[in-house]
């Protein structure tokens, strides 16, 4: 389409093209004019009642996330011929899509990311860093990444997308809100973020949870995710497009990639209604199991990591080679404290459990291991069974309910005065609980106890590389009851972690609660139980962030359906879900 404009070098005023002129000369463009497409993308130098700086005041930040696994690209070449590689590169980078996006507005941004196994560089190109030939720079960076992937020993078809997608979103959010003044007005640039994922595989391994977190976070922050699939359609990526308001495009041949990208994903979502629309397909919201990568309509959800399983798998605490060195060290430290507590009483012994702390001990040692330390009987605190051993050990939580159960148990077995009772509060013995126990029946129950100690099993090894304090009541205690005891418990746990290190490590905090915890940790003395360890924990720093802050980090906020299930129905570490109102 040609527009009558004056020569810039002549100094004359550009000719103004009216609405009627466009309708008369170009009837097919009438709808585009009415929707403001030209004014939005071509600037206002040629249109009446427009500002000369509208082009600069309308910025779009685009992150192009491309799968760069040599296995996937090799599969495309074997399926469509060797020319398929050049077709894909030409469509995305060489002459067409990327340059078109940068040409739509002088302030547009383009970021090129790569995701694949065993590649070092994820961000391949940033248009803001400047390059005399952007197309050449992007093509060279992409080819170098493919070469690096081909030279590695990676043979997996699945590629890790979550980390790269998180980095892409963070790059766009980092620049959001930066005020760039326009030439003739007091307004600032309006930034819109988009992510385009070019995928060649339909499997994403164990990343279902992290990716769903990212998709919901993107929708929350107004970032659209468009997906172009060159392989079989991925239900997970279909959900990404549907959740964020983007498009999912299935391309059957690399030769058609250019036309799809230029027609459907070049413009932002607000202008897509002006172009031919793709046929909408129903989105399959079934989750894929982490064990066989199959879609399941009903399955089992792990209460620890919220992973979906297609068949029941009992939870077993990871041991030995399955754990990372840091988790293994803390796991060994917890086992050592547990065994020392059991071995403090010689002979056969009975363990009476508070149900709320059973899962903590089970993650360190099972019943068969406990038998090797003289445990011949286990019973629950709320189900009285007459003791058959001379020693009874109580593992209790520091709560008044557990205190009531302890007193009832002693009362029911009061005729047997030869039994020695020993109490361990997990993870710590609160002063209030101790004093309440001393006051019961004028100290009669307190006198029956051989000792009252604490077993600081604070850090629970839920997975091979994950630790948790498992404090689900902390938010309600702080916000509703105003009980700050749980913050002190967090500080004690962090102090135990620091005491396992050979030297003091710095603590960084973000948020009011985090500042309070960091301040308490800095005032504490090193834990004597932890300092006796022969092996040191290697940590560089500790970063504490309040749950209520949302820096767009998937691990810090639960925005998925699994997270909502956890928040609503209280999914514990071990046990059933407390569901209400099922119909």
pLDDT digits (tens, 9 = 90+) for 256-284: 888 888 888 887 777 777 777 777 677 87
437 vs 58, which has greater pLDDT? 437
- Which pLDDT score, from 0 to 100, does residue 480 have? 78
3-state secondary structure of 546: coil
Other C-beta atoms lying within 10 Å of the C-beta of residue 509: 18
Mean local confidence (pLDDT), 527-548: 70
Query: Does the pLDDT at position 532 exceed 60?
Result: no
CA–CA gap between residue 252 and residue 99 (Å, rounded): 24
- Which pLDDT score, from 0 to 100, does residue 1 have? 35
18 vs 479, which has greater pLDDT? 479
Mean local confidence (pLDDT), 477-481: 77
- Which pLDDT score, from 0 to 100, does residue 534 have? 59
Query: Does the pLDDT at position 573 exceed 80?
Result: no
- Which pLDDT score, from 0 to 100, does residue 49 have? 40
Contacts of 403 (CB under 8 A, 6+ apart): 396, 433, 436, 437, 440
Cis peptide bond N-terminal to 427, omega within 30: yes
pLDDT band for 448, please (50, 70, 90 cuts).
Answer: confident
Mean local confidence (pLDDT), 246-250: 89
pLDDT band for 296, please (50, 70, 90 cuts).
Answer: confident
The radius of gyration computed from the CA coordinates of the chain, to the nearest angstrom, equals: 31
434 vs 466, which has greater pLDDT? 434
- Taking the CA atoms of residue 64, residue 69, residue 73 and residue 76 in that order, the dihedral angle to the nearest 10 degrees is -90
535 vs 138, which has greater pLDDT? 138
- Which pLDDT score, from 0 to 100, does residue 259 have? 84
Percent of the chain clearing pLDDT 90 (strictly above): 4
Give the residue from 303, 330, 274 showing the smallest Cα distance to 460: 330
23 vs 372, which has greater pLDDT? 372
365 vs 157, which has greater pLDDT? 365
- The set of long-range contacts for 75-82, using a CB threshold of 8 Å and a minimum separation of 24, is 75/157, 75/200, 75/231, 76/200, 76/230, 76/231, 76/254, 80/253, 80/254
pLDDT band for 225, please (50, 70, 90 cuts).
Answer: very high
φ, ψ at 64 (rounded to 5°): -100, 110
- Taking the CA atoms of residue 476, residue 482, residue 483 and residue 489 in that order, the dihedral angle to the nearest 10 degrees is 70
Query: Does the pLDDT at position 81 exceed 80?
Result: yes
119 vs 21, which has greater pLDDT? 119
Please name the helix (run of DSSP H) or strand (run of DSSP E) that holds residue 460, with its range, or none.
Answer: strand 460-463
Give the residue from 212, 170, 244 showing the smallest Cα distance to 552: 170
pLDDT band for 226, please (50, 70, 90 cuts).
Answer: very high
Identify the structural domains of the chain with CATH numbers, from first to last: 1-57 (no CATH), 59-176+190-274 (3.40.50.410), 320-454 (3.40.50.2060), 471-549 (no CATH)
pTM assigned to the model? 0.49
Other C-beta atoms lying within 10 Å of the C-beta of residue 533: 17
CA–CA gap between residue 317 and residue 334 (Å, rounded): 13
Mean local confidence (pLDDT), 196-205: 82
Helices 162-174 & 208-220 angle (0-180, nearest 10): 20
Other C-beta atoms lying within 10 Å of the C-beta of residue 280: 9
Mean local confidence (pLDDT), 199-212: 79
- Which pLDDT score, from 0 to 100, does residue 527 have? 66
Mean local confidence (pLDDT), 202-227: 84
- Which pLDDT score, from 0 to 100, does residue 20 have? 52
φ, ψ at 161 (rounded to 5°): -95, -30
3-state secondary structure of 431: helix
Query: Does the pLDDT at position 531 exceed 70?
Result: no
Query: Does the pLDDT at position 533 exceed 60?
Result: no
Mean predicted lDDT score pLDDT of the chain: 75
């Amino acid at each position: 389409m040609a527009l009558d404009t004056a020569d810039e070098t002549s100094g004359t005023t550009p000719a103004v093209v009216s609405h009627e002129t466009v309708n008369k000369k170009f009837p097919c463009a009438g709808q585009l004019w009415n929707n403001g497409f030209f004014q939005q993308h071509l600037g206002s130098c040629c249109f009446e009642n427009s500002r000369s700086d509208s082009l600069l005041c309308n910025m779009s930040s685009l992150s192009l996330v491309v799968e760069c696994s040599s296995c996937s690209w090799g599969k495309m070449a074997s399926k469509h011929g060797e020319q398929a590689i050049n077709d894909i590169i030409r469509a995305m980078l060489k002459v067409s899509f990327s340059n078109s996006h940068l040409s739509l507005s002088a302030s547009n941004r383009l970021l090129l990311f790569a995701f694949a196994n065993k590649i070092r560089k994820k961000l391949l190109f940033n248009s803001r860093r400047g390059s005399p030939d952007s197309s050449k720079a992007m093509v060279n960076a992409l080819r170098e990444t493919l070469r690096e992937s081909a030279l590695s020993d990676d043979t997996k078809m699945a590629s890790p997308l979550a980390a790269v997608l998180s980095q892409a979103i963070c790059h766009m959010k980092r620049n959001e809100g930066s005020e760039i003044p326009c030439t003739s007005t007091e307004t600032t640039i309006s930034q819109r973020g988009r992510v385009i994922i070019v995928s060649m595989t339909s499997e994403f391994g164990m990343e279902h949870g992290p990716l769903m977190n990212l998709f919901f976070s993107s929708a929350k922050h107004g970032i659209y995710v468009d997906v172009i699939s060159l392989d079989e359609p991925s239900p997970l990526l279909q959900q990404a497009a549907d959740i964020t308001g983007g498009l999912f495009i299935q391309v059957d041949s690399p030769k058609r990639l250019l036309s799809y990208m230029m027609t459907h994903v070049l413009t932002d979502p607000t202008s897509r209604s002006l172009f031919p629309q793709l046929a909408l397909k129903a989105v399959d919201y079934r989750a894929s199991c982490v064990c066989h990568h199959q879609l399941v309509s009903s399955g089992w959800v792990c209460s620890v990591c919220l992973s979906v399983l297609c068949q029941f798998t009992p939870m077993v605490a990871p041991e030995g080679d399955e754990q990372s060195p840091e988790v293994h060290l803390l796991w060994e430290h917890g086992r050592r404290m547990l065994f020392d507590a059991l071995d403090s009483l010689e002979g056969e012994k009975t363990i009476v459990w508070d149900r709320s702390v059973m899962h903590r001990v089970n993650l360190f040692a099972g019943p068969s291991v406990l038998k090797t330390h003289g445990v011949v009987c286990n019973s629950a605190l709320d189900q009285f069974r007459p003791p058959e051993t001379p020693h009874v050990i109580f593992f209790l939580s520091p709560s008044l309910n557990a205190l009531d159960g302890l007193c009832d148990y002693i009362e029911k077995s009061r005729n047997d005065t030869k039994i020695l009772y020993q109490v361990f509060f997990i993870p710590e013995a609160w002063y209030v609980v101790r004093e309440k126990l001393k006051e019961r029946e004028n100290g009669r129950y307190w006198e029956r106890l051989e000792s009252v100690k604490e077993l600081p099993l604070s850090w629970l090894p839920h997975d091979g590389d994950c630790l948790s304090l498992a404090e689900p009541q902390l938010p309600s205690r702080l916000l509703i009851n105003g009980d700050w005891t749980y913050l002190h418990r967090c500080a004690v746990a962090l102090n135990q972690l620091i005491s396992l290190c050979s030297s003091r490590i710095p603590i960084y905090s973000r948020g009011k609660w985090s500042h309070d915890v960091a301040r308490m940790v800095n005032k504490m003395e090193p834990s004597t139980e932890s300092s006796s360890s022969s092996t040191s924990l290697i940590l560089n720093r500790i970063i504490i962030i309040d749950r209520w802050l949302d820096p767009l980090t998937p691990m810090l906020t639960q925005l998925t359906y699994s997270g909502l299930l956890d928040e609503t129905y209280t999914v514990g570490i071990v046990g059933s879900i407390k569901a209400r109102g099922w119909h």
